[in-house]
Amino acid sequence: MCKKFLFVLLTLWVGQAFGAVYYVAVDGNDSNMGSKDKPFATLKKANVVVNAGDTVWIRGGVYEMHDTTYCERARMSAGVLLTTSGESDDKRIHYFAYPGERPIFDGTKLLIGQALDKTNSSTDLEYTAGILIYASYLHLKGIEVRNVPMKYNSNSGVYVTRCRHVILEQMESHHNAGPGFFVNEGGTEPGGGHYFLNCDAHDNYDPDGRQGDGENADGFGVHYQEPGFGDTTKFYGCRAWWNSDDGFDFINQEFPVVMENSYAMGNGYSDYGTQKPPSGNGYGIKMGESKTGKGHHLIKYCVAWKNRASGFYANYTSAGSKWLNNTSYQNEDRSFNMASKTYDSEGRETADVAPLTGDNAHVLKNNIAYPNTLSQIGECWFKSATVDEKVECAAGENNTWNLKLDLTESDFLSLDDPSMTVTGQDLSKIAGMLGPRKADGSLPDVDFLKLKEGSRAIDKGEDLGFPYAGAASDLGAFEYGLPVSSSSIAGMSSSGTTSIANNLGYSVETSTSASVFDMQGRYLGSFQVQLLHGGNIVDALQAKFKNPGAYLVRYEHKTQRVNVK
């Protein structure tokens, strides 16, 4: 590092006045000071000493979880319980993997929590998580959780409950006896507003659980948030594969969730894709069962392939969602299944299956179904106490089925990927859609399911306000001719990032402010994107923060490093 650049960074640090810094290491001791030379041994100790604005660096290695801590309000136990909150989005508590190292929290020897009023019955076994987050305004990055066991109840790798605005970035949760990640916002205070960025959940399987073999091990779950209560949880760049139940499941979620640029493959299987647990559902991306008609989700630029059931599934919801520019390929049941039902104001079912109409209907635009195998689209089964017939229902616009495009291999750069052929192996180690991520945590750039020059799906879509190249938007999750951009909050290099100044002006249901971070990913503040029009980012940063230095500016999912003199 040159002296001039070092001076710039030091100036930035002095000007921003961050909180304390602590370290945790496998060879540490909780009686230590928590310094780099004398680190703590556990996150339990770090949770006790941190305050808003502090950072905990977690050194690499395997942290074997043994004993559990009981959280009475959540009625759960956890190998790691985080209860100390930050104060706001710009004063978080940060739990970061030390740069270049990988901390792994292993639950192989984790004790299963016992209910406080135990009577020696299996039903008194409480849920137990590897990491339980019962705190707001945290940012966890680069942490791996694995091998959380079960007895009777399925147990999550990472469980987030009754809190607000938690960022989970570059997290991996796998081989747990239950969901990889589970968000439960069913508390009495507004929660949600969490952000899952570049996270992976795979190979989770709950054998012989109380609800069946493989019934509850989703990759990601968001549940129980009431309508109008809290903030929207978002997913970007996340992947779920070979989970015994579903990839993404938002059942009983009455508050909108946003999913973008995320993948679901091979769900409904276990043992690296070699087994089919009898109770696993196997949907790729499952939205619904909203009973209030308020769980209107947004799913865009997502891909679902080779799932045991449908790729994209509405799950008998009463609230239509928006399904925009998604790709569904070779799922065993349906490509898109918009099965819905209706309820009255008291939550009583009024129709077993019914089309949703008007503003409540599903919106399907610019999607690829390959093959065009659909359910409850265009023609729906309507069944209630008084009706049992087929009726017309929303068919969407500019999808492969509307345009009668029966795509073939010749429309794609490649249909070859390890996930299509390899079973019995860990796909995260093999180069492909589900293989190693880029250095900044963003998704690998491979040809699988991308359109090739001359594809019949190019320029066939509707302009939805998203960036596109050519005469019109393309169908599916991958726009032909657009560069691949970085999606890390805290990328340490400007190489490969897409200039924010060149990507302003598209905002269909998106934010209108840009966020600014330091070079270690800590949030500094935000400003309106209108200030960036014309590309004058340096002046905007100087006016906002006054200090010279290196900044990371993030708008939507595009990150640009900016040096301010």
Do 308 and 284 touch, CB atoms closer than 8 A? no
Q: What are the pLDDT digits (tens) for 452-475?
A: 999 999 999 999 998 899 999 999
Q: What are the pLDDT digits (tens) for 392-440?
A: 999 999 999 999 999 999 999 999 999 999 999 999 999 999 999 998 8
Q: Can you tell me the mean pLDDT for 547-561?
A: 69
Q: Is 379 helix (H, G, I), strand (E, B) or coil?
A: strand
- 525: how many CB neighbours lie within 10 A of its CB? 15
Q: Which residue has the higher pLDDT, 493 or 86?
A: 86
Sheet-wide strand order for 167-169: 21-24, 55-58, 93-97, 138-141, 167-169, 195-197, 233-236, 257-260, 298-300, 322-324, 363-365
Record the pTM: 0.87
Closest residue by Cα to residue 261 from 199, 316, 213, 332? 199
pLDDT at 135: 97
* Domain locations in the chain as residue ranges: 20-392, 500-564
Mean pLDDT is lowest, of 311-315, 437-441, 466-470, 528-532, for 528-532
Tokens of 102: 């990988």
CA distance 339 to 318: 9
Task: Look up tokens 């209630």; give the residue.
Answer: 384
The conformational region for residue 51 under phi > 0 = left, psi -120 to 50 = alpha, else beta, is: beta
pLDDT at 120: 55
pLDDT band at 505 (very low <50, low <70, confident <90, very high): very low
pLDDT band at 514 (very low <50, low <70, confident <90, very high): confident
pLDDT at 521: 60
Mean pLDDT (the chain) is 87
Q: What are the pLDDT digits (tens) for 182-195?
A: 999 987 788 999 99
pLDDT band at 370 (very low <50, low <70, confident <90, very high): very high
Q: CATH number of 20-392: 2.160.20.10, 2.40.50.140, 3.40.50.300, 3.40.50.720? A: 2.160.20.10
Amino acid at 440: D
Task: Look up tokens 């370290």; give the residue.
Answer: 23
CA atoms in the 13 A half-sphere facing the CB of 335: 22
